[in-house]
Amino acid sequence: MIRRSIPTWLFIALAVAGVVVLLVSYELLSQRQTRINPKQTTIPSFEKLGDGVKRMFARQGSEENPKPAMFWTDMRATLWRLLFGLGVGVLASIVVGVMMGAYRWIEAPLSPIVMFLSKIPPTGMMPIYFAIAGTDQRMFTSMVALGIFFSMTQAIYQSVRDNVTDEAINKAYTLGASESEVIYEVIWKQILPNVIDCIRAQIGPAMIFLIAAEMVVSDAGLGYQIRMQSRVLNMNIVFVYLFVLGMIGVVAEYSLLWLRHRMCPWFKGA
């Protein structure tokens, strides 16, 4: 029946079985393609993926001038751009979204603009970012921050309007709270779980925007390396980088879930 619970051991066993089936299917497909074309690199075997990992961590430069491995250079560039852009976008969207939900005179002029701009794909606005911010760190920050700003601002604004009742605000005023205390103690604490969930939902889009920008203009980063390696069909490196991107998303997802559990123990969301 729908939503009937199953034992925990069975759930874990089925989850592991799903991953094993996927990996075995991939290896069988790789072997089939290799039999058709022994020189194929589009679907590398696990052995070739291991060779790709070795290349990623191989020493760069010379004995006199050693450089970090390719993986660490790309990882550092991408993570810095992602975290900085997310930080700017999240902070801006929280401030604007809460203000729109709290004050009608702010909501009135901004809500149609935010709603309209949230419907424009940020990747389609890349030429504008190039023209205004150039092609350095400012462009990547703009791409990620503005890419998530409009949709997240709208989500936070709707959360304030839907989840914070007028009765709770009026009760706080009756007890002598100031405007800033109402915003922090009533509005902010009420919507905090939803804000964390909004950030969770924006991790994937932010990574899409960043990787797209790195593929176009960057000289370092995961997106840049994926583009360069795919040109010469080094898919054993491309697949590993895609796996790394997935792991970044998984770590961010569970980190935010842990943060929500610690900061909002009363919240019983998914």
Q: What is the mean pLDDT of residues 25-48?
A: 86
pLDDT band for 236, please (50, 70, 90 cuts): confident
Q: Is the pLDDT of residue 20 over 90?
A: yes
List pLDDT tens digits, range 185-200: 888 888 899 899 999 9
pLDDT band for 169, please (50, 70, 90 cuts): confident
> Dihedrals φ, ψ of 61, to 5°?
80, -160
- Domain 61-263 CATH (choose: 3.90.920.10, 3.40.190.10, 1.10.3720.10, 3.10.50.40): 1.10.3720.10
CB-neighbour burial class of residue 150 (10 A; exposed 0-12, middle 13-18, buried 19+) = buried
Q: What is the mean pLDDT of residues 55-83?
A: 81
Percent of the chain with pLDDT over 90: 19
pLDDT band for 62, please (50, 70, 90 cuts): low
Q: Is the dihedral of CA 97, 252, 254, 203 positive or negative?
A: positive
Q: CA-CA distance, 251 to 198, in Å (whole number)?
A: 16
Round the average pLDDT of the chain to a whole number and report it: 86
Q: Are 52 and 234 in contact (CB under 8 A)?
A: yes
Domain positions in the chain are 8-40, 61-263
